[in-house]
């Protein structure tokens, strides 16, 4: 099952099992435009990334200017540092593969 | 309970109706009595006064009818000029503010004011309901993503709390009344 989400005018899909938690953007302080940010989430260091960093095949020209994200998807931990991606909006109805 | 000053038209019609009714009763009494006691009745009045009263006594029934008609018209007009809010629709005594404006204008203004107040309350409640439902949906989605996670119990509890608050807001909306409506 997949979750459909949008970030900076680009639509993405991610496997449900990859996402462990959705956090609202306003719950995190000082989010600004950077290649990546590191924040402590649930007591673990977490890299906050733009989805374009996870999907390098996306053309930069298609991406709209940076905006503060409304949501953050915290992804499955893979190693010592966790990962999270910025999300503008997402569909809570899951899509079957 | 406060008693507000009535508009001049209403006061005038009220006193006109009352006065006409009393005069009508007096004239009826005089006209009935005048057939048998005209002479005795007139002796109680001074000469200058009895001269003016003679036609009244002679045509007493017509004048009484005229005054009763005036009283009836006054009361009808009085009811028409009274604003809707000042009429007692229930068993309890209800006196409300009557402004010195025309009836239609007053009703229009009062209605729009109540409607605006009602709309504000409804908007506040709906915003609150929307926030609560969004919160419940968010927590439930997190629970669905990781049902055995460290936050699962908290998410479930928060989602239920939000749903209960939503139900409370819906009950408040059902109970909501403005001016008894």
Domain boundaries defined on chain A: 2-90
- Which pTM value belongs to this model? 0.55
Are A12 and A4 within 8 A, CB to CB? yes
Dihedrals φ, ψ of B15, to 5°? -70, -35
Q: Does B162 touch chain A (CB under 8 A)?
A: no
Q: Does B145 touch chain A (CB under 8 A)?
A: yes
Of all residues in chain A, the percent with pLDDT exceeding 90 is 32
Dihedrals φ, ψ of A86, to 5°? -80, 140
Residue A85 confidence (pLDDT): 93
Are B40 and B73 within 8 A, CB to CB? no
Residue B169 confidence (pLDDT): 92
Mean pLDDT of A29-38: 85
A71-75: strand order across its sheet: A19-24, A71-75, A82-87, A44-49, A36-41
Residue B2 confidence (pLDDT): 47
Are A84 and A74 within 8 A, CB to CB? yes
Measured between beta carbons, the chain A residues lying within 8 angstroms of B138 are 22, 24
- Spatial neighbors of A60 by CB under 8 A, at least 6 apart, are A52
Residue A11 scores a pLDDT above 70: yes
Residue A62 scores a pLDDT above 60: yes
Residue indicated by tokens 């809010």 = B85
ipTM above 0.90, yes or no: no
* Topology of the domain comprising A2-90: OB fold (Dihydrolipoamide Acetyltransferase, E2P) (2.40.50)
Q: What is the pLDDT along chain B (181 residues), one digit of tens a residue?
A: 445 566 777 788 888 888 888 888 888 887 777 655 555 555 665 665 555 555 656 666 777 888 888 888 888 887 777 765 555 555 555 555 555 556 666 666 776 777 788 888 889 999 999 999 999 999 999 999 988 888 889 999 999 999 999 999 999 888 876 555 5
Q: Is A21 within 8 Å of B150 when comparing Cβ atoms?
A: no
By CB atoms closer than 10 A (0-12, 13-18, 19+), residue A7 is buried
Q: Using DSSP, state whether B139 is helix, strand or coil.
A: helix
Condensed to tens digits (0 to 9), the pLDDT of residues B42-58 reads 566 566 555 555 565 66
Mean pLDDT of A72-96: 88
Q: Nearest by CB to B138, which of A19, A22, A42?
A: A22
Q: Which two tokens stand for residue B119?
A: 């709309």
Report the chain B residue with the minimal C-alpha distance to residue A1: B145
CA distance B164 to chain A (A): 21
Q: Is B145 within 8 Å of A92 when comparing Cβ atoms?
A: no
Residue A56 confidence (pLDDT): 75
Q: How many degrees, rounded to 5, is the angle at CA A70 between CA A68 and CA A74?
A: 105
Cβ contacts below 8 Å, chain A against chain B, sum to: 18
Report the chain B residue with the minimal C-alpha distance to residue A75: B145
Q: Is A19 within 8 Å of B149 when comparing Cβ atoms?
A: no
Residue A97 confidence (pLDDT): 74
């Amino acid at each position: 099952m997949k979750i459909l989400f949008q970030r900076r005018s680009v639509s993405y899909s991610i496997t449900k099992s990859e996402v462990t938690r959705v956090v609202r953007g306003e719950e995190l302080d000082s989010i600004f435009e950077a290649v990546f940010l590191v924040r402590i989430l649930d007591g673990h260091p977490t890299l906050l990334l733009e989805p374009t960093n996870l999907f390098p095949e996306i053309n930069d020209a298609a991406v709209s200017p940076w905006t503060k994200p409304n949501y953050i998807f915290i992804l499955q931990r893979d190693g010592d540092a966790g990962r999270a991606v910025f999300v503008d909006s997402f569909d809570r109805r899951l899509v079957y593969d | 309970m406060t008693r507000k000053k009535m508009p001049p038209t209403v006061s005038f019609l009220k006193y006109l109706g009352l006065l006409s009714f009393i005069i009508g009763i007096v004239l009826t009494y005089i006209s009935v009595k005048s057939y048998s006691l005209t002479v005795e009745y007139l002796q109680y009045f001074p000469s200058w006064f009895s001269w003016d009263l003679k036609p009244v006594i002679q045509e007493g029934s017509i004048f009484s009818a005229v005054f009763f008609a005036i009283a009836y018209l006054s009361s009808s007009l009085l009811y028409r000029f009274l604003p809707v809010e000042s009429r007692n629709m229930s068993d309890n005594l209800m006196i409300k503010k009557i402004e010195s404006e025309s009836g239609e204008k007053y009703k229009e203004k009062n209605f729009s004011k109540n409607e605006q107040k009602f709309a504000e309350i409804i908007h506040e409640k709906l915003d609150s309901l929307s926030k609560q439902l969004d919160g419940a949906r968010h927590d439930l989605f997190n629970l669905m993503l990781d049902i055995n996670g460290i936050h699962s119990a908290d998410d479930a509890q928060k989602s239920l709390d939000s749903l209960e608050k939503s139900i409370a807001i819906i009950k408040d909306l059902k109970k909501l009344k403005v001016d008894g409506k």
